[in-house]
Each structure stands twice: as structure tokens, then as C-alpha cells.
Structure 1
Amino acid sequence: MNPHQEAKTKAAMTYNAAADHFDHPVSSFWHRFGRRTIERLDLQAGERVLDVCSGSGGSALPAADRVGADGYVVATDLAGRLIDLARAKAEAQGLANIEFRIDDMLALGYPDHSFDAVVCVFGIFFVPDMSEAARELWRMVKPGGRLAITTWGPNLFEPANGAFWDSIERERPDLHRAFNPWDRISEPEGLRQMLAEAGVHNVDILAESDTHPLNEPEDWWKIAMGSGYRGTLEQLNIDAFEQVRQSNLSRLFEKRVTAIETNVIYAIATKK
């Protein structure tokens, strides 16, 4: 299996599993940052938008609302269960101007210059070659159109993230990660460099510091179960899973953790 196919399979399995917790209220940041991305993009009525790595619609649904009945949004994701969640929400909101696809953002098949805006929120780092992915997304942007890439800043979910991986290392050292795929672009300069390698220039980048509240340690566990951590948790047996859970939550309780870091970087490039 080539690296891209392997990454696709892993992402689809992880987020299909995480779908049962993905839209839990404790994970409201997915939609908060999706809406913020669309606000910064300043979409206009009638525009045509492609939203890739859509999840359950955090950015695609606000985009559909912004472009109105004369506009159109295509929302794609590898995880069919997340697309099902997004589709149900679109129907509940009466959004008839949005199409959903379970598909790979590198193989969508749209011609050059097909969209006024292309959006990717917390998804560009799932492919082994981020510059290749950015180049493909940029190809589909019309002259005068915009590409929006939103990614995580430094110290994602700390201090809970460190507690999680410490507990994994004790139970299953083979699953411990030393590097997150988004680390390369977790600072503005790294993100700008990745986009430049893709031929994407004239980029407005904004780094925002943020935190997400935890009412109790158990909130963190629900977030872990509804995010990329689920891929690691799915590989644990019942005993190891419970050990990781107890160790993780005990650390947060002892440290009296009431919030986690959710720093975000927004990049918007305009095609001249």
C-alpha cells in the first residue's frame, strides 16, 4: 500500500470510529473554528465553494448559509459516517444548495478554476505530502478566488495531550507518537513555507491563541474519543484501554485542569 493510500485508509477508519463522539457538545471547537474560517473568507452570495475534509459540516454548513440559494457548496470527506452527520444537519437546516461526497481530496476530478473558494479545515496534514495537496486544491480555485487552510497551532490540547501520550507509552510503547503530522505547519512560517512549495503565494496568515474549557476531566475523554486519538485507542485491548483512561483522567484531576489549548492558524490565499 502506498503512503497516500495508507494515510487515507487510516483517516477513514479513525474518523468513522470517532463519529459516535464527534458532535458531542464538549467538542464544539470543530464548529467554532469552522465558522471562524468561513467568517474570515468573507464569502459572497452566489459563490461556488469546495469544502474538503468536511467532517460533520463545521465549515461547509456555514458556507452554504453564506452563499445562499444562488450559491453552491460541495462537501467531501473520507469518513462516510461524518458525511452522514453533516447531511442530516443540512436537511434539518433546510440547506438545499450543498452536495456531499465521500471522496479523496486529491482525486475529486474537478477541472481547473472550478470554485470561487476552496476550504480545508484541520485536514491538510492528513496527507503525506501537504504541498501536493495544497497544489491540487489551489488548481481548482478560480482567478480572483481564495483558498482557506486552517490548521492547529502549537501545544494542541495541552496539558491533556501530554497526559494522553504518557499513558499510551506506559501501556503500548509501540503506539506512542513522537511527532504529530501538523507539527510542521503549527507556526505561521512553517505554514507559509508549505504553501510556497505548492506555488501558493499572496497568503494572509493569522495565528490565534485559544483555549477550550473542560467542566470535568471526563470531558477530555469524550474529546479524545471523538477525534484523531480514537485511531490509537481502537488498537488497545479492553484492559489497556481502561488503564489509559484512568491514568489520563487521574492526571487531569490531580493537576486541576479546567481548559486545554486550542491554538489555531488561519491562512487565506487569493489567486491573482
Structure 2
Amino acid sequence: MIHAAHGIVHGVTDVKIIDLWHRAAQSYETVVPYFEVMGERMVELAALQPGERVLDIACGKGASLIPAARAVGPAGVAVGIDIVSQMAEIAREALQAAGLTHAEARVMDGEDMSFLDDSFDVALCGAGLAFVGMRPGLTEIARVLRPGGRMLASAPTGGGPQWNFFSELVSRFGLAPIPLDIPSSEQMDELFEEAGLRDRVVHHESFHVDFPDEEAWWSWAWSHGQRWFLEQLSPQDAEAFKQAAFEHLRGFKTAEGIPLDQGYMVVSAIAH
């Protein structure tokens, strides 16, 4: 059992970002497998052992939490947290459906976690550390990990030059950037060191997925962080943005669909 140390506080996480994910929750990860691919690979790299205690921060619908719970087995403990209540509820239902009774999902802010120090052997964060807040997030991860505990976090790194059209359209339509906390590589080293997370290793990974057609991609764009930009558009501009995007997509569409070769990285470190 994992015990709480203090009450849940939402810290400095941007309310607009939280609301965004509330609106995206129902369609999140329903179009093509994306975050679950990264989640399963991160769990493989974590080399989880039966009986270990694992925490998944910004767990979403359970892309990392479910394979992590399976890896540690009934002798272990798997806890997922997400500040978005709808995400935590969906993850909870998925755990129950999978019969993973030793796992749970809670509503909690990754910047101010209500766990005692040294509560976990492993902490995971799948494509969510920038949303949590890098400095407070890393500090909290180091606090709840036992000395020698492992931390792994993933982040998308790009889908190839043919996908640059989205950022070009964002610029053309004058859309405000999403307020993410993304430090440089040098700053990342400093932040990890300050938090007490050392021996940092970066694993570069990739996977392939095909969107069935342009409409499937459009639905997918609304199901995750890109929704931030699309919600800024008026109905007229949204249609213009959509048609411009579809024109680009048709330029590299194949018989199998619209290909995405998604690059991502998994960063690992050890708590000291």
C-alpha cells in the first residue's frame, strides 16, 4: 500500500491545459495506437521486476500504467496519477477491465504529489513531463523515489519533414503557442542534477503508424495536444486550416493510408 503524506494541491499547472485535456479525454487514443506504443516501449526499457512499486505520472488512459502493472504483477504495486479527472477515471476502468487489482489511478498533480518520500522503486512519465512542469515535476519524482530508484520519461521528437506543415499552418493562422515547459539539452542536464536524478541516458526510438485517411488524421489532431491550436480557430478558419492540411496530407498519402514515422525519446535516470 502506498501512503499519502499531505493533501492534493494543483500547484502551478495551467488551468487552461487541464481544461484542454478534459475536452480531449473521450477521443484521446481512439484513432490510432500512438501513446500506447511509446508506453509499452518505456516499460520495456524500465525492466520492471515482479514485486516492484511503480508510479506513472500523467498516466492518461493507462498507456504506460497498464503494461507496468502487468510487469510488476500482483506482488507489486502500480499507481497512476493524472490531474485530469476524466483521464484517471478512464484509466481506472481500464485497470478493472484488465483484472489488475493491484493497480489504481488517482487524480493528483505531478507537481505536488501526496506520497511519502521513498515510496516507489520506479517512476514513469509518458509524454507528460512538459505538461507537469519540468523543475517541480523532476523534484517531486526524485522525492518519491527510493535511493537507487529508476525514472523514465518519454517525449515525441518529430514525424519527419513532411509533417512540418502543421507548424507552418499554425504560424500562418497566427495561433498562440501551447505553454509547454521544454528546456534545452543543457538545461535538462542541470534540472536532472538539481533534482537528484543522475546517470541520465537518452534512448532514441521510433514507430510507424498509418492514418486510414485525412478525416482520421483530423479526428486524431483533436484528440491530443494539437487541439490547443485548433480550438483557437473560428469555424471559417477551421475549415480553411483543415483543407490546407488535407492538401499536404494527400501529397504523401499511400495505398496503406497516411504514414507517420514518429520519433520519440525515452530519458532514464537514477535517484540519488
TM-score class, shorter = 0.7 to 0.9
Counterpart of 1:159 (choices 139, 156, 162) is 162
Matched residue SS, 1:22 = coil
Give 1:105's aligned residue.
110
Q: Whole-Å Cα distance in 2 between the matches of residues 270 and 169 of structure 1?
A: 39
- 1:228 CA displacement: 0.2
Q: Which runs of 5+ in 1 are unaligned?
A: none
Q: Say which SS state the counterpart of residue 76 (structure 1) adopts.
A: strand
Correspondence for 1:134: 138
Please name the residue that 1:181 is paired with: 180
Letter in 1 for 2:240: Q
**Which residue pairs with 1:220 in the alignment?**
217
Match of 1:148 among 152, 165, 180: 152
Aligned-residue RMSD, C-alpha: 2.5
How far apart are the structure 1 equivalents of 2:250 and 2:44?
Answer: 36
Are 2:79 and 2:106, in contact at CA under 8 Å, matched by a contact in 1? yes
Equivalent pairs counted in the alignment come to 260
Shift of 1:157: 6.7
Q: Which position in structure 2 is the counterpart of 1:24?
A: 30
Report the CA distance between 1:271 and its aligned residue.
3.0
Query: Which consecutive residues of structure 2, in runs of 5 or more, have no partner in the other structure?
Result: 1-10
**Of 39-48 and 208-217, the range deviating more from structure 2:** 208-217
| Structure 2 match to 1:125 | 130
Distance in 1 of aligned mates of 2:18 and 2:192: 25
How far 1:110 sits from its partner (Å)? Answer: 1.3
Q: How many Å apart are 1:190 and its aligned residue? A: 6.1
- Kindly report which structure 2 residues correspond to 1:66-77, keeping only aligned pairs within 5 A, or say none: 66-77=71-82
Percent identity of paired positions between Structure 1 and Structure 2: 28
Moved more, 138-147 or 250-259: 250-259
1:7-63 Cα deviation digits (max 9, x unpaired):
43122111111123212142x111011011111111111111111100100001111
TM-score by length of 2: 0.85
| Partner SS, residue 14 of structure 2 | helix
Code of the residue aligned with 1:17 in structure 2: it is R
Of Structure 1 and Structure 2, the greater strand share is in: 2
Report deviation, 1:180: 7.6
The whole-number CA distance in structure 2 between the counterparts of 1:127 and 1:37 is 18
C-alpha separation between the residues in 2 aligned to 1:70 and 1:34?
21
State the shift of 1:159 in Å. Answer: 2.9
The 1:243–1:20 alpha-carbon spacing in structure 2 relative to 1, beyond 3 Å, is farther
Q: Partners in 2 of 1:182 and 1:216 — Cα distance?
A: 32
Does the CA contact (< 8 Å) of 2:123 and 2:152 recur in 1?
yes
